[in-house]
Amino acid sequence: MAGTVSEQREPVAPAVGSLARGYLRRRRRADLIEGIGWFSTVLVLALFLADGGASYFSNPRDLPTGLGIVAGLVGSNAVLIMLLLVARIPLLDHAFGTDRTLAAHRWIGRPALVLLLAHAALLIWGYGLVLGTDPLAQGLAMLTSMRDLPQAFAALAAFILVVVTSLVIVRRVVAHEFWYAVHLVAYAAVLLALPHQFSQGGLFAEGTWARWYWLALTVGVLGAVLVFRVVIPLLRNARHRLRVAEVVVEAPGVASVIMTGRRLDRIHGRGGQYSIWRFWSPGLRWEGHPYSLSAAPDGRSFRITVRDLGDDSRRVLSLDPGTRVYFEGPYGVFTTATRTSPDAVLMGAGIGITPVRALAEAMVRVARKVTIILRANEEGQLYLRAEFDALRMHPSVRVIEVVGPPATRVRSWLPDSMADASLATIVPDLPDADVYVCGPATWTDLVIADARSAGLRGRQVHSERFDW
Ligand SMILES: Cc1cc2nc3c(=O)[nH]c(=O)nc-3n(C[C@H](O)[C@H](O)[C@H](O)COP(=O)(O)OP(=O)(O)OC[C@H]3O[C@@H](n4cnc5c(N)ncnc54)[C@H](O)[C@@H]3O)c2cc1C
């Protein structure tokens, strides 16, 4: 049950060799998936060249059209890769973790938009050169008289909106709900753009292999999104019928929500993972929010611990018992599965202690030594403190509380009063450990920088970020 070290068994501490093998397996899987992404880009270019695409580059007048087609192919392929990255396919989630797939999704977004804009601009210019019309007249002619082009322009406008609302500076001012709704438009945009790819692009003309490949790719990607983000969650929710069992106030503005349901032992969640939760209660129905499990799943209940950081999280604190809960997940690689070293250092700050609490429960069963570092500005923010105290009973566990306001004199994750300390001085065996960190973004970055400057390799440092 939530709040105690559950008796569920995990394998005893594996040897360093097996940790290294596990790491290499994950690395190979990640490399393979990355390779498939690049391969799909090369393949679409190869299809273009095999269809006689090189001829566009032998005549300067056809050059803009050739470049426009290439930009459109690579840009559209990139959009499909972006959708695949957010389809929550278990293989991708296990290989990279959501942080990295979301970062890759964001990273591809801007070049993909530039390519699609270039596609439109170069084709307008290129067709104009061939037909002897100026770009404005040519653009209008394409928009009004070419088959399927109005939908394609609408799709382009939708992509512009999606990318612009995702820029950091814009995201700060628009509500998350608005950003989310705009993102849903991207799926409609892919469908809107599809007809012109078949009716206008000679490469995908009827009866060609390229047409079947492109159709299969698009249907496969949209199908993956539908299956993993809609169908499977709906089936799992129908099966498990999760409901709020109890809401326990942990501190002012912080409460734990304990949920029970049917056959929860069939959900293979791990301490440190999160799910997207949607509570069937006024104001909370229409948007799922990510919350980490704050206790390792015990097969009978799930527990999350929520801080009121906004309107919806505030509503979660006063949920009624019996409220129906829909979930997607559990997701994430902030788990024992990604460790590469015999020891573990688990660090949480503020409400970031939630996955740390659940991960600690699993970690004590597999790691040689576990050091838990809890960081808070004041004692009242050491949430779930009694449960961390209970973990001290375990002979391999050390719990260190670091309380004090953020450093002002030096850039450090520690308070000014501990300015001379560092992760290496607090944890003498640091090189033998994996560090898991969750907390505010700046604090997390400072911890990671400290761990890396102490010589830890990238694969030894794991973070869960609450600020997507
Ligand atoms: C992987 C992960 C695990 C998390 N675990 C916990 C946890 O265990 N306990 C906890 O208290 N908080 C957790 N959070 C943070 C929590 O999701 C947000 O505080 C919550 O969604 C805020 O919603 P709001 O409408 O109350 O606030 P708002 O005022 O709408 O937003 C506050 C902040 O939360 C972000 N946010 C809002 N809605 C979402 C959403 N649907 N998805 C992602 N971000 C959103 C906003 O962009 C903004 O930065 C986690 C976040 C992530 C990404």
Residue 9 — pLDDT band, cuts 50, 70, 90?
A: very low
7 falls within a domain: no
Q: Say whether both 23 and 123 belong to one domain.
A: yes
> 148-196 pLDDT, tens per residue?
999 999 999 998 988 888 887 777 788 877 888 888 888 888 899 999 9
Q: How many structural domains are present in the chain?
A: 3
Q: Please say if the pLDDT value at position 240 is more than 90.
A: yes
Which residue has the CA at smallest separation from atom 46 of ligand 1? 176
Determine the atom of ligand 1 nearest the C-alpha atom of 293. 8
As a whole number, mean pLDDT of residues 397-420 equals: 92
**Domain encompassing residue 68:** 16-230
With contact defined as beta carbons under 8 Å apart, do 38 and 103 qualify? no
Sheet holding 461-464, edge to edge: 397-403, 370-376, 343-349, 433-438, 461-464
Residue 255: CATH number of its domain: 2.40.30.10
Q: Say whether both 132 and 180 belong to one domain.
A: yes
Q: Of 230, 254, 278, which residue constitutes the final position of a domain?
A: 230
Cα of 176 from ligand 1 centre, angstroms: 9
226 falls within a domain: yes
Residue among 302, 466, 467 to mutate when testing ligand 1 (max atoms within 8 A of CB): 466
11 falls within a domain: no
Closest by Cα among 386, 417, 406, 409 to 447 = 406
The predicted pLDDT at position 266 comes to 92
Percent of the chain past pLDDT 70, that is, above it, reads: 96
As a whole number, mean pLDDT of residues 393-402 equals: 94
Which residue has the CA at smallest separation from atom 52 of ligand 1? 466
Percent of the chain past pLDDT 90, that is, above it, reads: 63
Amino acid at 339: R
Cα of 466 from ligand 1 centre, angstroms: 6
CA angle 86, 170, 116 (to 5 degrees): 55
Is there an atom of ligand 1 within 6 Å of 359 CB?
no
Whole-angstrom Cα distance, residue 309 to residue 233? 26
Is there an atom of ligand 1 within 6 Å of 176 CB?
yes
The predicted pLDDT at position 4 comes to 33
Residue 459: CATH number of its domain: 3.40.50.80
Is there an atom of ligand 1 within 6 Å of 304 CB?
yes
Q: Say whether both 216 and 94 belong to one domain.
A: yes
Which residue has the CA at smallest separation from atom 4 of ligand 1? 291
Cα of 222 from ligand 1 centre, angstroms: 26
Q: Please say if the pLDDT value at position 1 is more than 70.
A: no
Backbone torsions φ then ψ of 368, nearest 5 degrees: -70, -50
3-state SS track over 204-252: HCCCCHHHHHHHHHHHHHHHHHHHHHHHHHHHHHHHHCEEEEEEEEEEC
Determine the atom of ligand 1 nearest the C-alpha atom of 254. 11
Is there an atom of ligand 1 within 6 Å of 382 CB?
no
Which of 92-96, 240-244, 267-271, 448-452 is predicted least confidently?
Answer: 92-96
Which residue has the CA at smallest separation from atom 36 of ligand 1? 176
Whole-angstrom Cα distance, residue 270 to residue 108? 30
Is there an atom of ligand 1 within 6 Å of 166 CB?
no
Which residue has the CA at smallest separation from atom 5 of ligand 1? 291
295 falls within a domain: yes
Q: Please say if the pLDDT value at position 383 is more than 60.
A: yes
